């Protein structure tokens, strides 16, 4: 067994109490079960396919889900359905396991909302690194329309512990979070006719994110506008969302956004000038 100190295992254990394994091969599922129980005492449920797997996760509300990606199980499809569903565990870490690690499969897993990717054959050390990643290194949750799941920039974070490098990593700042939220809100409003349920869920999540970012910046106007939007969305009927009204509300919020958010987007007014 991969040598992990007792303190680390103690921190991981509460987030590994209930595990679901979706694997059509009993021997493979049993091996993974044995390895997990060597790491810490946990309850493990097994399902041979995605349909029964979804039923099991709905019943047991797992902390972690392992799902195969092969000819018998569409792990990416399972994850995408889970993320867009209403189960209490829709945000649970999903670790995809497969013997085929092509670029298409890896990218498909990431874009479906999978947290980590584990290639067969794997060692106990490989498994432990993935478990440490999903239990001890939390990732921001993205509630959008075209994507629902953990921040994709940290995909397979068990293999990465370095500094932020991408320009898009500016979303870790309050200004960057505001820009990200506004872009998601814009896409969500546009998607009301196609997927109203997810559009509403995405808008509510981003209105909450805007409130938090505005509070951090001390921007009273933007925070008040975000709170008002959240209240409006909270009282809305998913089947009767007023697209034009929401577009107007979003346009008003764009005007209050930091200067960086307005580049190439909606008309805005400078906060300093407005004050």
Instruction: Provide mean pLDDT across the span 48-68.
Output: 98
Domain that holds residue 196: 168-267
- If asked whether residues 125 and 242 sit together in one domain, one would say no
Distances 190 to 77, 253, 263 between C-alpha atoms, Å: 24, 16, 20
Confidence band for 260, pLDDT divided at 50, 70 and 90:
low
- If asked whether residues 24 and 117 sit together in one domain, one would say yes
Dihedral angle sign, alpha carbons of residues 8, 14, 17, 22: negative
212 close to 206: Cβ distance less than 8 angstroms: no
Measured at the alpha carbon of residue 66, what is the angle toward residues 60 and 70, in degrees to the nearest 5? 125
275 lies in some domain:
no
Residue 272's pLDDT is 33
Residue 274's pLDDT is 32
- If asked whether residues 102 and 70 sit together in one domain, one would say yes
For 207-244, the pLDDT digits (tens) are: 999 999 999 999 999 999 999 999 999 998 988 899 99
- Residue 158, pLDDT above cutoff 90: no
Measured at the alpha carbon of residue 87, what is the angle toward residues 84 and 88, in degrees to the nearest 5? 120
Strand, helix or coil at 152?
helix
272 lies in some domain:
no
How many alpha carbons fall within 13 Å on the CB side of residue 180? 23
Instruction: Provide mean pLDDT across the span 188-198.
Output: 95
Residue 266's pLDDT is 47
82 upstream amide cis, omega within 30 of 0: no
8/168: higher pLDDT: 8
Last residue of a domain, one of 159, 178, 197: 159
Strand, helix or coil at 254?
helix
Please, which residues have CB within 8 angstroms of residue 97's CB and are 6 or more apart in sequence? 23, 32, 66, 67, 68, 69, 75, 118, 119, 120, 122
Strand, helix or coil at 132?
helix
Residue 47's pLDDT is 98
For 132-147, the pLDDT digits (tens) are: 999 999 899 999 999 9
- If asked whether residues 228 and 144 sit together in one domain, one would say no
- DSSP string over 167-227: GGGGGGSHHHHHHHHHHHHHHHHHTTTT-HHHHHHHHHHHHHHHHHHHHHHT-HHHHHHHH
Q: Which of 51, 107, 108, 110 is nearest to 78 (CA)?
A: 51
Instruction: Provide mean pLDDT across the span 170-190.
Output: 88
Last residue of a domain, one of 124, 159, 194: 159
Residue 186's pLDDT is 95
Confidence band for 270, pLDDT divided at 50, 70 and 90:
very low
Measured at the alpha carbon of residue 230, what is the angle toward residues 225 and 235, in degrees to the nearest 5? 130
- If asked whether residues 103 and 206 sit together in one domain, one would say no
Domain count, the chain: 2
Question: Phi/psi at 47 (nearest 5 deg)?
Answer: -135, 140
Question: Phi/psi at 116 (nearest 5 deg)?
Answer: -140, 160
- If asked whether residues 208 and 124 sit together in one domain, one would say no
Total-model pTM: 0.84
- If asked whether residues 122 and 228 sit together in one domain, one would say no
Q: Tokens standing for 37?
A: 């129980």
Residue 51's pLDDT is 97
Residue 4's pLDDT is 72
- If asked whether residues 26 and 117 sit together in one domain, one would say yes
CATH assignment at residue 135: 3.40.50.2300
Neighbours of 161 (CB within 10 A): 8
For 7-57, the pLDDT digits (tens) are: 999 999 999 999 999 999 999 999 999 999 999 999 999 999 999 999 999
What rounded mean pLDDT belongs to the chain? 88
Residue 155's pLDDT is 74
CA distance 23 to 120: 13
- If asked whether residues 30 and 145 sit together in one domain, one would say yes
- If asked whether residues 95 and 176 sit together in one domain, one would say no
């Amino acid at each position: 067994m991969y040598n992990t100190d007792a303190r680390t295992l103690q921190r991981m254990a509460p987030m590994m109490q209930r595990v679901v394994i979706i694997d059509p091969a009993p021997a493979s599922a049993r091996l993974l079960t044995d390895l997990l129980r060597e790491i810490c005492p946990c309850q493990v449920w097994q399902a041979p396919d995605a349909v029964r797997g979804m039923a099991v996760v709905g019943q047991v509300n797992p902390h972690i889900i392992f799902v195969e990606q092969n000819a018998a199980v569409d792990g990416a499809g399972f994850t995408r359905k889970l993320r867009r569903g209403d189960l209490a565990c829709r945000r649970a870490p999903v670790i995809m396991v497969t013997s085929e690690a092509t670029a298409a499969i890896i990218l498909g897993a990431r874009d479906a909302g999978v947290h980590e990717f584990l290639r067969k054959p794997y060692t106990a050390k490989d498994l432990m690194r993935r478990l440490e990643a999903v239990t001890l290194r939390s990732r921001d949750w993205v509630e959008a329309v075209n994507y629902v799941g953990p921040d994709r920039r940290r995909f397979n974070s068990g293999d990465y512990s370095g500094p932020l490098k991408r320009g898009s990593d500016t979303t870790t700042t309050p200004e960057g979070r505001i820009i990200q939220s506004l872009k998601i809100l814009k896409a969500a409003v546009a998607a009301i006719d196609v997927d109203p349920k997810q559009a509403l869920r995405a808008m509510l999540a981003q209105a909450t994110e805007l409130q938090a970012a505005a509070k951090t910046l001390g921007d009273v106007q933007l925070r008040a506008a975000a709170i008002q939007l959240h209240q409006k969305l909270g009282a809305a009927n998913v089947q009767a969302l007023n697209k034009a009204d929401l577009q107007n509300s979003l346009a008003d919020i764009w005007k209050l956004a930091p200067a960086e958010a307005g580049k190439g987007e909606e008309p805005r007014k400078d906060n300093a000038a407005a004050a």
